[in-house]
Structure 1
């Protein structure tokens, strides 16, 4: 049995991103070009041979890629409105005046990601952290911000792309709710260790500026954009099922709200341009992952699901979830937690991580991410096995189509 060369190329691409993180876009571009060249000249594309096969493959994948690009650039553009609203400077007034301030902020991110997109929760949380901790945020705490956003979205069908996919695939939202148990365990562990580390790195501000003024128009724009996004997600998936497979609804809803709001307040368009590079990196990485000859997953068991969580740290969780839905036979709550939270173990393992790295480029060092955020895999294992001990492995209906 031969090992597909595509996986070797993908592994080398990931290694290149880890070593040359300042040139991540160049490395990922080279990996995508190499994969396309190999499948075009030596083997075949997932959609078939030649140009027709390549076109057929991306005729489906383009919606996912477009959504990723539009959401990542949109949320960073939205973050400029949020930062200029003055609300992040208000945070020290309501947070505790000791190390637990970081834990409380992570709790807010965790809870909010259940009802808004996890990318939005992570970006807004990172902006607030920059103001609370005087512009000095440790990589350990940034990883926890990403982890809390991913964990909070794992138990909600509107909190993460993967859980929304499960909902569309016939999985009951009630069957995903159990992921909140594992997520809560993970949050508790991350919250303690990350907040302690952040307090040592840079303690929180004790007071807000005395002349603080809130720009309520910019704050209203933030709320309007988030409500538009959640509404589009719920309405399209409930009333117009199937549309989201052919149109990047979420990304378009986000940008429609931003462009309409520009009539009242101009965003920082330079932030959009900055975010585009990070978004393009993730789009290319996901596009490369989609070309991998991964036609099936191992038999669904708790052991293989545990492994999928670790795999999602380097392999996009969207195709993994799609394959799991085709296969069926999973405990969906455990799978949602595994693939939703597992990507936190690397900065590029989730879209929330890439979004936060756009705001804090220093977090793109994989070595520092793994070293400082050592508690993330510990939190993953703890959350996973607590779920398994409490609920057991229960095969639930849904998927298999």
Structure 2
């Protein structure tokens, strides 16, 4: 019964996360409750002999041994349970520390108005050229600072460049597609690719080598269709900045430290994969080093001409830390620990998620179709638990690092979410900032995102089948 209780808890929590908007409930709440209650139920079941567990190395620990209350079997089972819990917490903490570091660096750059520098590179009145410029920026930036942050930065810029909201909505919607495509080929471009990278399912080189072309196709195809056949991107657009200063933002919008902090922040984030390759240490240690360097520079740099000690707090890392979304961090904590709970419960001699993978394999022998469907699911429900579940379903013993399976999961989960406005963090952010209507996006943009997703998936299969 406790096995079904754990599964029911996960399903109910998942439903609450999916319907967070109708329920008017922050998804962090059900995620935290789900993670804690699932593990509490497992502990009760295991210590009462009703549940068996499996650790990360697929060692089976029988709950019946806990009823002995003495002897080597009892001690081994108890240590196995606690070691398994700490193992999953450690893997989750690696991801959370990495994300906290990256978010803090981005916020420090933003405090110094570093992203305002990007407006200087946008110097066209053509609607189609503007779309390609912001699209390319979104594709590149999302690979460096993640797709969510890139979307927020570019939506903020578009508000200054495209004053008409109805026109701007089209640009913002296409930015979501570009940002998700750009985040899929970078280990730091999306939470899901970061999870796969830290979990040693993909390497930096392998991810970039086999996903850069499919991701480009996923980005380019919708943009070509939009600029050649949609009226929204025909003609010219007038922007206040361009009329007054030929594309260069007003000087008061910049600080003396803007350019330095922009390039330092982006450079230190890009340095993290290099650090991992050189030192063979986990990525979160590289992010700690990068954050330390950016924080150090921010302590001594002078953003203004007459910079005083009283103004220092305005640009400090302490303020940046107060601006990061801790609710998102706690959501990842809850959801990843809940998925870890399902990975831990033993059904037969394997974990529940591994058993589910075997059932899927029997039902749908073609694995590519399973992952393709995962891309559609990521548009409906959050891609973080989907990827976390897939990592539990398919073990490293059967699918080594940089296996085709992991690359396709990274692509599908990263880009499939573009098909619905609520299907990705970038889409949700754009929806909140511009009040984009769900039905409008479904009618106008969803088919474009699907065409790009399908085209990129087809290219991926060709590359992996014939060129790998």
What's the TM-score, normalizing by structure 2?
0.66
Tell me, in whole angstroms, the C-alpha distance in 1 between the residues paired with 2:387 and 2:419: 16
The aligned residue for residue 97 of structure 1 is 126
The CA deviation string for residues 34-66 of structure 1, in whole angstroms up to 9 with x for no partner, is 444444445678768776653342122111122
Unaligned residue ranges in structure 1 (runs of 5+): 397-401
After TM superposition, the structure 1 stretch with the greater mean CA deviation from structure 2, 42-51 or 311-320, is: 42-51
Equivalent residue for 2:315, pick from 253, 267, 270: 267
Assess if the C-alpha contact under 8 Å between 1:88 and 1:127 holds in 2: no
Tell me, in whole angstroms, the C-alpha distance in 2 between the residues paired with 1:220 and 1:11: 43
Assess if the C-alpha contact under 8 Å between 1:25 and 1:281 holds in 2: yes
- 5 Å matches for 1:308-323? 308-313=374-379, 314-316=382-384, 318-319=387-388, 322-323=391-392
- 5 Å matches for 1:281-320? 282-283=331-332, 284-293=334-343, 295-296=353-354, 297=357, 298-299=360-361, 301-313=367-379, 314-316=382-384, 318-319=387-388
Assess if the C-alpha contact under 8 Å between 1:182 and 1:383 holds in 2: yes
The aligned residue for residue 280 of structure 1 is 329
The aligned residue for residue 250 of structure 2 is 212
The alpha-carbon deviation at position 280 of structure 1 amounts to 3.4
Tell me, in whole angstroms, the C-alpha distance in 1 between the residues paired with 2:130 and 2:438: 26
The aligned residue for residue 336 of structure 1 is 410
Tell me, in whole angstroms, the C-alpha distance in 1 between the residues paired with 2:291 and 2:431: 18
Name the CA shift for 1:228/1:147 in 2 (closer, same or farther; >3 Å). Answer: same
The aligned residue for residue 147 of structure 1 is 177
- 5 Å matches for 1:243-262? 243-244=282-283, 247-250=284-287, 253-254=290-291, 256-258=293-295, 260-262=297-299
Q: RMSD of the alignment, in Å?
A: 4.3
Tell me, in whole angstroms, the C-alpha distance in 1 between the residues paired with 2:378 and 2:237: 33
Assess if the C-alpha contact under 8 Å between 1:86 and 1:212 holds in 2: no
Tell me, in whole angstroms, the C-alpha distance in 1 between the residues paired with 2:441 and 2:24: 12
Assess if the C-alpha contact under 8 Å between 2:211 and 2:411 holds in 1: yes
Tell me, in whole angstroms, the C-alpha distance in 2 between the residues paired with 1:130 and 1:5: 44
Determine which structure has the larger helix proportion and give its number: 2
The aligned residue for residue 23 of structure 1 is 26
The aligned residue for residue 457 of structure 2 is 384
Tell me, in whole angstroms, the C-alpha distance in 2 between the residues paired with 1:318 and 1:331: 12
Assess if the C-alpha contact under 8 Å between 2:143 and 2:188 holds in 1: yes
Tell me, in whole angstroms, the C-alpha distance in 2 between the residues paired with 1:187 and 1:345: 13
Equivalent residue for 1:107, pick from 127, 136, 139: 136
Name the CA shift for 1:141/1:288 in 2 (closer, same or farther; >3 Å). Answer: farther
Name the CA shift for 1:75/1:171 in 2 (closer, same or farther; >3 Å). Answer: closer
Tell me, in whole angstroms, the C-alpha distance in 1 between the residues paired with 2:85 and 2:14: 22
After TM superposition, the structure 1 stretch with the greater mean CA deviation from structure 2, 159-168 or 274-283, is: 159-168
Name the CA shift for 1:333/1:134 in 2 (closer, same or farther; >3 Å). Answer: same
Assess if the C-alpha contact under 8 Å between 1:282 and 1:348 holds in 2: no
Name the CA shift for 1:344/1:275 in 2 (closer, same or farther; >3 Å). Answer: farther
Count of residues paired in the alignment: 387
Determine which structure has more spread, i.e. the larger CA radius of gyration.
2
Assess if the C-alpha contact under 8 Å between 1:301 and 1:330 holds in 2: no
The aligned residue for residue 278 of structure 2 is 239
What's the TM-score, normalizing by structure 1?
0.75
Assess if the C-alpha contact under 8 Å between 1:109 and 1:121 holds in 2: yes
Tell me, in whole angstroms, the C-alpha distance in 1 between the residues paired with 2:290 and 2:133: 31
Assess if the C-alpha contact under 8 Å between 2:10 and 2:38 holds in 1: no
Name the CA shift for 1:309/1:232 in 2 (closer, same or farther; >3 Å). Answer: same
The alpha-carbon deviation at position 226 of structure 1 amounts to 1.2
The CA deviation string for residues 255-279 of structure 1, in whole angstroms up to 9 with x for no partner, is 6414531432443876753432453
1:11 aligns with 2:60: no
Tell me, in whole angstroms, the C-alpha distance in 2 between the residues paired with 1:358 and 1:66: 27
Unaligned residue ranges in structure 2 (runs of 5+): 46-50, 56-60, 62-77, 304-313, 344-351
Assess if the C-alpha contact under 8 Å between 2:10 and 2:34 holds in 1: no
The alpha-carbon deviation at position 382 of structure 1 amounts to 2.8
Tell me, in whole angstroms, the C-alpha distance in 2 between the residues paired with 1:14 and 1:248: 31
The aligned residue for residue 399 of structure 1 is none
